[in-house]
Structure 1
Amino acid sequence: MIAISKTILLPFQIIRADTFWKRLTGLSGHKGPLINKGLHLIPCNSIHMFFIRHPIDVIFLNKSNRVIKTISYLRPWRVVPPVKNAHSTLELPLGTVKAEKIRVDDTIQMNYLN
């Protein structure tokens, strides 16, 4: 059976981190787990989980917001090396990839908070 790519509208708001300072701080000041919001790092093709206290789901996107790679349950103090062809990264609440059935080649649509 051939998987068909789809467009997915994330069911919560996304914070856009498209400046040096917003990308630098990322989620490091966030005390609890991500709930009903996410962070879109632009540009970004690799991440680290230093100083992050809770696991998250991560999606790497190309310039057209097409999914290049997904990571479910990325734990604190881990590093994801650069992902080829990734232009941006979505940091999402734990379980989002599974709940929304997000797969490589899907396209992501977002509602931005800021």
Structure 2
Amino acid sequence: MVQWSVRIQCHGQFASLICVWQENRQFLGQLKVAKNGWNRLLGWGARGNALGVWLNPCRSIHTFAMATDIDLIWLNKRKEIVHVETNVKPSSWRYRADAQSVIELPAGVLAKHGFWQQERDKELLQ
């Protein structure tokens, strides 16, 4: 079970990604918001200089034609985390029936900022 959360603040075509662990908030970076057909089709390629891309709405993604691994944060309609996947390899496909949107980030971003590691440590202690 994920014990941290995300806050997304939209600014037109971009959004700020803030991760929250207990009372601590950390800005991770800007996301390209992919809501229209063209940006959704481009997916990861639509992000430009942004850290990642937020596909909304989205229940499935593919990593065909990608050259690098990515991290995924799956969100429900209330923007609550329903699932996290790290180091998703190229040439794969993912689907979440319980998700409304997904955030794609470069592999290792969550671990670099300590969010995924804190979750794994908590699971090991239980």
1:17 maps to 2:34: yes
Q: Please report the TM-score for the alignment, with normalisation by the length of structure 1.
A: 0.72
- Residue 75 of structure 1: aligned partner: 89
Instruction: Evaluate the alpha carbon distance shift between residue 16 and residue 70 of structure 1 in structure 2; reply closer, same or farther with a 3 A threshold.
Output: same
**C-alpha displacement at 1:86, in angstroms?**
0.2
Q: Which 5+ residue runs of structure 1 have no aligned equivalent? A: 104-114
Moved >3 Å (runs of 4+): 2-7
Shift, 1:20, TM fit: 1.0
TM-score by length of 2: 0.66
Tell me how far 1:93 sits from its aligned partner: 1.4
Work out whether 1:97 is the aligned partner of 2:122.
no
Q: Deviations over 1:15-42 (max 9, x none)?
A: 0000111101112478xxx986010001
Q: How does 1:1-40 map to 2 (within 5 A)?
A: 4-7=3-6, 8=19, 9-28=26-45, 37-40=51-54
The answer to whether structure 1 residue 60 and structure 2 residue 74 are counterparts is: yes
Give structure 2 stretches of 5+ with no counterpart.
7-18, 20-25, 120-126
- Residues in 2 aligned to 1:69 and 1:37: alpha-carbon distance in whole angstroms: 20
Structure ranking higher on relative contact order (CA contacts 8 Å, 6+ apart): 1
Which residue matches 2:99?
86
> Conserved in 1, the CA contact under 8 Å of 2:39 and 2:46?
no
Considering only aligned residues, what root-mean-square deviation do their CA atoms show, in Å?
2.6
Task: After superposing the two structures, state which structure 1 stretch, 94-103 or 53-62, moved more.
Answer: 94-103
Percent sequence identity is: 28
Q: 1:56 to 1:10 in 2, by over 3 A?
A: farther
Q: Which has the greater radius of gyration?
A: 2
Comparing both structures, which one devotes a greater share of its residues to helix?
2
Count the aligned residue pairs: 98
**Structure richer in strand, relative to its length:** 2
